[in-house]
Amino acid sequence: MKKSIEIFVHLSFWVLFILFAVLLSKIYLEVKPDAPFAQHFAYVIFMEAAMGVIFFYTTFFVLPWVGKKTTNAAILGGILLALLILFAIPAMGLGIWQVLSSVVPHLMLVLLAFVFRKYADSLRAEQH
């Protein structure tokens, strides 16, 4: 029962995340129909979701392991930083706001993954 609640919460979160990504892209395309990604809309949304999933679940699944040692926290920090830079590289030619628009939402996902982890732990504790 508790596991199904957890899966439902995660699914709802990703549905809302994708809807939000679609919405922002649509609004942007309304004011700039000739944006470079206009022809690859589905691909861009897919990439956004994929990057989000990577950030979120890297944090979510690794957190219990991180709590055991300070070195583990440093390793996770290193991985997340490398991913942030990797995903921000394509935006670097476009401007500072575009770079930030790649970095900041992923930071938010890391924070939310932490909160979701705690939520999952509380569900498990409740079951115990």
Partner 1 sequence: MKKTVEIIVHTFFWIIYTAITLMLSKVYLQAKPDAPFSDQLVYVISLELFMGLLFFYITFWGISWTKGKTMRVAILAFILLFLLLFFSYPAMRIGVWEVMSSILPHIILVFLAAIFRKFSDSVQLEQEKQNLMYQNMQSELALLKMQLSPHFLFNTLNNIDYLVHTDADKASDTLAKLGAILRYMIYDAAVDKIDLCSELSQIEDYIGLIKLRVKDEKYLKYKLSGNCQGLRIAPMLFVPLIENAYKHSASKEGENIISLEIQISGRNLLFNICNAYKPDEREPQKHSGLGMNIVKRRLELIYPNRHEIIISTRENVYTVELSLELDENEMHSSR
Binding site for partner 1 (CB under 8 A): 9, 12-13, 16-17, 19-20, 23-24, 26-28, 30-32, 35, 95, 97-98, 100-101, 104-105, 107-108, 111-112, 114-116, 118-119, 121-123, 125-126
- How far apart CA 81 and CA 106 sit, in angstroms, is 10
Nearest to 38 by CA among 49, 25, 19: 25
Q: What are phi and psi of 68, to 5 degrees?
A: -75, -35
Q: Which C-beta is closer to partner 1: that of 9 or that of 50? A: 9
Give 6 or 58: the residue with its C-beta nearer to partner 1: 6
- Least Å distance, CB 66 to partner 1, is 14
Query: Nearer to partner 1 by C-beta: 24 or 79?
Result: 24
Least Å from the CB of residue 128 to partner 1: 10
Q: List, as one string, the DSSP characters of 18-57.
A: HHHHHHHHHHHHHH-TT-TTGGGHHHHHHHHHHHHHHHHH
CA distance 30 to 46: 20
CB of 7 to partner 1, least distance (A): 14
